[in-house]
Structures are given as structure tokens and as C-alpha cells.
Amino acid sequence: MRPHRAVLNPSLGTVAREVALASADEVAEAIAAAKAAFPAWRDLSIAKRQAIMFRFRELLVARKDDLARIITAEHGKVHSDALGEIARAIEVVELATAFPLMTKGEFSENVSTGVDVYSLRQPLGVVGIISPFNFPAMVPLWFAPIALAAGNSVVLKPSEKDPSAAVFIAELYAEAGLPAGVLTVVHGDKEAVDVLLTHEDVAAISFVGSTPIAQYVYETGSKHGKRVQALGGAKNHMLVLPDADLDVTADAAVNAGFGSAGERCMAISVVLAVESIADELQAKIAERMQGIRTGDGTRDNDMGPLISAAHRDKVVGYIGTAEADGATVVVDGRDPEVDGDPNGFWVKPTLLDKVPTESKAYQEEIFGPVLSIVRVASYEEGLELINANPFGNGTAIFTNDGGAARRFQNEVQVGMVGVNVPIPVPVGYHSFGGWKQSAFGQGKAYGKHAFDIYTREKVVTSRWLDPSHGGLNLGFPSN
């Protein structure tokens, strides 16, 4: 009998449904279907392919509320946050509709007498996408629309924790006219992942998840000859200088620290406060946290539960670790009273101050609603902490000093930088990707770089022969 995995409603702590996990043979069947569908999809005219992309965009916009409800039911994030996730995904879907402009080749006429050289950008074949639980719609839609628009076929393996959003997206693609086999959803665990990473008919892998798994995906996929982009974890810092507007900064820290219960790879988890303003900033952040409504995502709340009981316990453990290591628990989110079922996986927003940098609560990704304040003496000390961190996903500086901001964006060793912007996720026509242990392989998602990942260049040197140009010449070709 095929193994099943429980899909929970995190707001209730109960099983909502079960998902059947594909065997290795079933994943191989999905890959075979994608391979069989690829030639016809690749050769479909640009006009017809683009029409399907536009039709999918219209269906997604029309049905976004339905998709948001699916996300809330399985992930737990509040409905408005789920709609925000979809809105950011639509940016990339809209970019994908412009694929004819992004996949054009180049042409050089008469490089030698009667000889032309031109390049073609052609799809790779079968692309595997492995997406995480925290953005069950947005991350698949970072990758699949561009891979499909470029002419590839796709096998998508969503997280088994909240798999229904991926199925809904695939159904919309089918309704838009995408041929059978061009996009296939397979559910599974590590067994399914390993088939995608090792199967000879998979040309490329796109992945988002934790850093250890991202590194495994990169190493395994690359070893088996695949083009791999693997986006990993983060520990994002916000550096606050003394001249910053502390009201704006406190709003930003709360929004960036606790949105989606902190289950974002771009969440701000550490505020580096220059000592002279640290007390005032801490008080402003704590004051704002009192108004955050935590509870069931289907109700009028600001923040929902964590994804599972195990993850809740892990986050609570980090709070205890920080406290044991000498941090001050300013706002304690443990054992919370919430607007929701007491069996849900709740941790309310938590604020820690004076967190030692030696503590695991500082060094490791918590991935929950825990904001740590680390006090620094100066810009230089704050920058040094950011650059010493093994992660390099996102960072921000809050200041009214343009020179300091310009210096920061030049000196910081992080892939995405915000200046008075707490979560610097680029818009769809720029690319998303971190540095250091936050990204492996060809780590840029969406934007123009994504079309480079999902295509390969072929260069043609062409001459249409004139009979008068015949004859033997064993020398090197010349003008």
C-alpha cells in the first residue's frame, strides 16, 4: 500500500487530509511523462505558448481568493498574508508572459564574406522543482512559469506539509490549455527528491529550503550532471543607526519579524541596535507587539500558527536557550492565549534583548516569530557581525544618512540589501538570491537570470554556398 502523510490544519492541530507519497517508480513515471510531452511543447509556436501563459495569469488573478483559502487551511498564515504571497507570485507570472523578449538570440551578419553567426536560446528539457512549506504558492510560481514559458516541461514536488496549493496551480494551468504531461505534480519525501536529483532525464533542479538540504540538493544534483539552483536558509540582520527614525524602524522591525509567524527566509530575525538608541528602540518595538493579534488565520488576526507541533517546540526551545544564555525576554510568546483553538501550534511574537552572539539563538535560523536585539557600539561593529555570519540572504540598514547607506550597500556581504526597507525582496523583473550559505549553484530566482537558467545557448555559423566559392583549402578559415 502506498504510504501516506497527514496534512494538518495548524490552527486546529488536527489532521485535515492525507497525502499519498509517490514511490520512486511513480516519480520516474512522472519524469517519463514530462520527457514525452517536452518535444511538442518546445516546438509549439511562441504565440500559442504565450497565449497559455496569459490565460493562466488571468485564471490565477480570478481565483486568487480560492488559492489563499487553501494556503491558510494548510499553512496557517492569515488570509491577507496568503493573498500577499499570491500577489508577489503574480509578478513572476506576468514576467513569464514576456518570455519572447527574454529568450531571443543574437545575430551578426557577414562576420566573414557570406558568413553569418547567430545564437538560439533553447529549453533544457525536464526541470524538477522542489518547493518548501512556507510559501506553497509563491515559490512554485517563482520557478514554474518561467521554466514552462521557456519551453521546458516541469515536475513539481511541493512540501508534503501543505501540498494542495501546488495541485490547484496545476489545475489552473490545465484549464489555461497547458498540454498534459508538461506540468506534473508529485507528492513525496526524500525518496521522491532523490529520484529528481539523480534521474538521467531531469536536466535542471530548482529548490528552496534549509541550508543543509540546499547543499545536499546542490551536491547531489550537480554530481549527476544537472543544472542546480538551491536557495537555502538565512539569518537576516537589520542595522539601526542613531539617526534613524525610530518609529518607522520599530514598525518595520515588527512587520518584518513577525509576518507569516516569522516563517520567511527573508524575515528580519536580528536587530543590530547602536547602543545609544537601543533602549528607546526596544521599548517602541515592545509597545507595537502588544497590538499583534495572534490566532486562526480565517479570523481577523495578524499572525497565525507555526506549521507543526515539532516546529513550535523547536522555536520555543530557542527562546529558552537565549534566556539561559543571558538574554532578556522582553515579550514572551510562550504559553500564549490566542484567538484560536488551544490545540493549534501557537507561539506569539517574542522579543529578546541583549542576545549574546555566542548563543545558538543568535547563530542559527529560528524560523519563527522571535526577534532578537543585539546591541553594538557602532556601524563598524554591526557591519562586522553581518559579514561574519555564514548566511547572506537579506539585510537592511535604517538611517537618514545617505553616505552611511551607500557605504553599507557597498561593504555588506549579502545578496539582497534594504535601505530603510526591512524585507528587500526584489520585484519580479529583478532577481532573487542570496550569498554565502544562503544559495548554492545558479542561485538567482526569477528576473532575467531565470531565463538563463532554464535555457541554453546554441550558436550557429551559417553560409549559403555560392558555386564560385568552391575549391580546396586546408588552411585555417579566414576572410
Length of the chain: 479
Closest CA to 63 of 154, 157, 185, 175: 175
Grid look-up 509563491 returns: 138
SS3 (DSSP) at 79: helix
Q: Nearest Cα to 183, choosing from 197, 195, 167?
A: 167
* C-alpha grid cell, residue 16: 485535515
Given this model, what pLDDT does residue 221 score? 98
The predicted-structure confidence for 294-317, as pLDDT tens digits, reads as follows: 999 999 999 999 999 999 999 999
Identify any residues that bridge with 373 across adjacent strands, giving them in sequence order. Answer: 271
pLDDT value at position 467?
A: 67
The reported pLDDT for the residue numbered 309 is 97
pLDDT recorded at residue 478: 67
C-alpha cell at 339: 484567538
Which residues does the chain have with pLDDT short of 50? none
Q: Which helix (H) or strand (E) holds 111?
A: strand 107-112
What is the set of active-site residues?
A: 265
Residue 476: its pLDDT value, please? 73
DSSP string, 349-418: -EEEES--TTSHHHHS---SSEEEEEEESSHHHHHHHHHHSSEESEEEEE-S-HHHHHHHHHH---SEEE
